[in-house]
């Protein structure tokens, strides 16, 4: 079940909200837990058992770490717990990838296992690891109520597509949360806007991406349309899901942290990663980069630390070499930027930095979406007319005209322009009056698209 489906929008969510607000406060976590397991069971029946095992394991090890006689014993429990959690992630997500790469060197090939990837396992595994590490560090109190811990791990608003919600963020909210009409309405608003980003922008841009990949009539213009559409699609898809998750959290009384902060206005790659998938980049910073020594080590070890983090960041996104290349690409760029280029970047006009940063990011998403090194090089080379392809073609002109308005709206929507206009004191009252109308319009249009069976991919399955 995904948020942008009729089943979720008009059956699951209304029923859960109705029951949630009818029952007394002491039963609300239980309602959320049952609803979350039901949500996951709908898409992955057998893997509910895997998630339940992971929760029980995390609960037991959390208690053992808390009760350990000394730091050494606590560390042993932590290491064992992490081995189990990451081991399950590696088995279900990377086994066939590992076998494929081993087979490149073997005469007698090993048969693939064809393990089915449990949806959202990367997200909830990282949440459990961060919980255990925080308990070990003394930064979080151990959760003695297994139902509350299970609610945290399985919470359906962020279960399958993030953001990666840390236990410390909602630790107090699991015990007590506030329910106000204002927060609920803000949650509905955020959810509907996220749904609009996903269905009306990301899905539409995804259509032209797929058309390009299937086309045999390539041109320089078509390569640029593809590259721009792809980078906008993944932003509006991912940030749209994050918006929906944050909105749903508010409806149920939770405050999740922001996951995106207009990354396409970034003035450097460092700035970009402060704004893009904030929950993931901060997770790797706090639980991998800093424990390795961060930048408080020799230059060679600092380079090693960055490359380890970005190799793992790429690998986290999927079991394929294009994701690893994508991570290593950013690792190298960040090393160059921090070590040599930052002083030159600061001297350039802001608009130039934004354009350069977006070009670099655009290339990164060509790598991210690539299916093999040949396709990646072809799609990058196509931007510059490699292989003597035409500048334009009949097909590219047709799709340029067809999708130009959506691309322009997406570019504007990826900046804070609309937000600044909406919060302007001169028109804020007008916006407040018409907001319910355009939110209802967005919901109706999105519903029409979904009912019509329009292109509605789930990009996060591989995560």
pTM to 2 decimal places = 0.92
Is residue 317 part of the annotated active site? The answer reads yes
Nearest Cα residue to 160 out of 198, 196, 205, 125: 125
Residues 422, 428 contacting (CB under 8 angstroms): yes
Distance CA 163, CA 372 (A): 29
In contact, 367 and 322? CB cutoff 8 Å? yes
At 203 the three-state DSSP class reads helix
The pLDDT tens digits for 172-222 are 999 889 889 999 999 999 999 999 999 999 999 999 999 999 888 889 999
Contact 256, 169 (CB under 8 A): yes
Rounded Cα–Cα distance for residues 144 and 88 (Å): 24
With contact defined as beta carbons under 8 Å apart, do 181 and 253 qualify?
Answer: no
The CA distance from 49 to 112, in Å, is: 23
How many C-beta atoms lie closer than 10 Å to residue 350's C-beta? Answer: 9
CB 337 within 8 A of CB 268: yes
State the alpha helices, DSSP H only, in 68-180: 71-103, 121-137, 146-154, 156-159, 167-175
Q: Is 153 exposed, middle or buried (0-12, 13-18, 19+ CB in 10 A)?
A: buried
- Give the integer Cα–Cα distance in Å for 213 and 351: 31
Query: Catalytic one among 61, 201, 317, 410?
Result: 317
Tell me the chain's radius of gyration from C-alpha atoms.
23
- For 299-335, letters b (16+ CB in 10 Å) and e give eeebbebbbebbeebbbbbbbbbbbbbbbbbbbebbb
What does the alpha-carbon distance between residue 246 and residue 164 come to, in Å, rounded to a whole number? 11
Q: How far apart are CA 388 and CA 220, in angstroms?
A: 10
Show Cβ contacts of residue 206 under 8 Å, excluding neighbours closer than 6 positions. 233, 237, 455, 457
How do the pLDDT tens digits run along the chain, 463 residues long? Answer: 788 889 999 999 999 999 999 999 999 999 999 999 999 999 888 999 999 999 999 999 999 999 998 899 999 999 999 999 999 999 999 999 999 999 988 877 888 998 888 988 999 999 999 999 999 999 999 999 999 999 999 999 988 887 999 999 999 999 889 889 999 999 999 999 999 999 999 999 999 999 999 888 889 999 999 999 999 999 999 999 999 999 999 999 999 999 999 999 999 999 999 999 999 999 999 999 999 999 999 999 999 999 999 999 999 999 999 999 999 999 999 999 998 888 888 889 999 999 999 999 999 999 999 888 999 999 999 999 888 899 999 889 999 999 999 999 999 999 998 877 766 666 766 777 788 888 999 999 999 988 876 666 656 555 5
Distance CA 222, CA 398 (A): 10
């Amino acid at each position: 079940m995904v948020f942008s489906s009729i089943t979720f929008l008009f059956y699951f969510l209304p029923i859960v909200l109705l029951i949630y607000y009818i029952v007394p406060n002491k039963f609300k976590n239980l309602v959320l837990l049952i609803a979350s397991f039901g949500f996951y069971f709908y898409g992955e029946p057998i893997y509910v058992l895997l998630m339940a095992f992971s929760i029980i394991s995390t609960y037991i090890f959390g208690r053992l770490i808390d009760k350990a006689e000394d730091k050494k014993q606590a560390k042993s429990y932590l290491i064992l717990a992490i081995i189990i959690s990451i081991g399950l992630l590696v088995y279900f997500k990377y086994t066939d990838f590992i076998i494929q790469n081993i087979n490149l060197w073997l005469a007698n090939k090993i048969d693939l296992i064809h393990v089915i990837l449990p949806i959202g396992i990367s997200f909830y595994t990282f949440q459990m690891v961060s919980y255990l590490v925080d308990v070990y560090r003394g930064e979080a109190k151990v959760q003695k109520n297994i139902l509350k811990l299970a609610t945290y791990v399985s919470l359906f608003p962020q279960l399958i597509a993030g953001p990666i919600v840390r236990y410390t963020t909602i630790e107090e909210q699991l015990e007590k949360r506030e329910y106000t009409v204002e927060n609920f309405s803000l949650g509905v608003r955020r959810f509907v806007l996220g749904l609009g980003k996903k269905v009306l922008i990301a899905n539409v841009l995804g259509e032209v991406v797929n058309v390009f990949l299937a086309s045999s009539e390539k041109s320089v213009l078509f390569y640029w349309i593809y590259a721009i559409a792809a980078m906008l699609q993944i932003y509006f898809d991912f940030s749209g899901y994050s918006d929906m998750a944050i909105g749903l959290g508010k409806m149920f009384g939770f405050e999740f942290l922001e996951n995106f902060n207009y990354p396409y206005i970034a003035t450097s790659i460092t700035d970009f990663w402060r704004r893009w998938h904030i929950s993931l980049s901060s997770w790797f910073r706090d639980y991998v980069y800093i424990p390795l020594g961060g930048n408080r080590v020799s230059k060679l070890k600092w380079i090693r630390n960055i490359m380890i983090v970005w190799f793992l960041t790429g690998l986290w996104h999927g079991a394929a070499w294009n994701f690893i290349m994508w991570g290593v690409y950013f690792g190298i760029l960040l090393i160059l930027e921090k070590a040599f280029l930052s002083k030159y970047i600061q001297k350039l006009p802001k608009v130039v930095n934004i354009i350069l940063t977006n070009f670099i990011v655009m290339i990164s998403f060509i790598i991210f979406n690539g299916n093999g090194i040949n396709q990646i090089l072809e799609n990058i080379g196509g931007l510059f007319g490699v292989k003597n392809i035409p500048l334009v073609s009949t097909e590219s002109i047709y799709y340029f005209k067809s999708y130009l308005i959506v691309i322009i709206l997406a570019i504007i929507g990826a900046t804070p322009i609309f937000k600044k206009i909406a919060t302007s004191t001169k028109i804020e009252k007008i916006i407040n009056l018409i907001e319910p109308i355009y939110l209802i319009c967005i919901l109706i249009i999105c519903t029409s698209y979904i009912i019509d069976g329009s292109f509605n991919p789930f990009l996060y399955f591989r995560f």
